[in-house]
Amino acid sequence: MAGHVAVVTGGAGGIGAATSRLFAQHGARVIIADIDAERAHRTADEIASSGAAAQAMVADVREADQVGALADSVRAAYGRLDVLVNNVGHWVRHPGSFADTDPGLWDELYRVNLHHVFLVTRAFLPMMVERRAGAIVNVSSVEGLRGYPEDPVYAAFKAAVIHFTRSLAVQVGKDGIRVNAIGPDVTESRQVPYSQWLSPEEQSQWPQWVPVGRMGLPEDQARVILFLASDLSAFVTGHTIPTDGGTGAAGGWFRSSRRAGRDWTNRPVDP
């Protein structure tokens, strides 16, 4: 990625930070776009201290005016964009039964999981079209690939990211732009801190829970994003890679009576 300019939304922490670091290690000039100014600058400074190139730009990617300003800033500073990673996303909170959910929560989920993907992609796509080259990587979820009984609305938006990825890839292929996605599962992040959530019993059962035998790390996701963003995947577009350690292949969600306030589990404990 030497010389490439890359924007990573939510690039200050978790999967986004791991991706920003890895891109920079491979020669990219990375723009860390994040709502958390302190964390964004800290991550950019950390990357810069290693001799690589990174810049923090503060923006709430749910807001159209801030996304427009972000794109203008990138154009002014670099004059180009080679890679866009739409990494922002959040399950927000456990909603309970769909019949009892507040439509206000649907709006929150939409804005943070799907709407921003539209906003950011539309803002940066013209820079790629001008150069007839570019790669977009969207971060969806394993829950967009399988049934997710705990939150059908979240799952619907993550599935929409996958279909948007597929459809946009077909539309912009003629412009030299590739569009792909990943579908993470069981990976430590700011939104899903498994190291804090799991009981000692569950911690010991990673080998039974995940076919590869361990919890996923942000760096595991970043490596696949790097593959999709680079010329290593020059003949790959319109696809979503399940980055799940094999959980999608092995099984799914099961009814449970052991988790207080939760009717479902995807963990290898007696239901």
Q: Please count the residues of the chain.
A: 271
- Residue written as token pair 């201290």: 49
Burial zone of 112 (CB within 10 Å; 0-12 exposed, 13-18 middle, 19+ buried): buried
Which region holds residue 176: left if phi is over 0, alpha if psi is between -120 and 50, else beta? left
Active site residue 154: yes
pLDDT at 195: 85
Q: What are phi and psi of 91, to 5 degrees?
A: -85, -5
3-state secondary structure of 71: helix
Residues of the chain with confidence (pLDDT) below 70 = 254, 256-257, 259, 268-271
pLDDT at 271: 46
Cβ-based neighbour number of residue 165 at 10 Å: 25
pLDDT at 260: 72
Q: What are phi and psi of 245, to 5 degrees?
A: 65, 10
**Which member of 78, 110, 148, 154 is catalytic?**
154
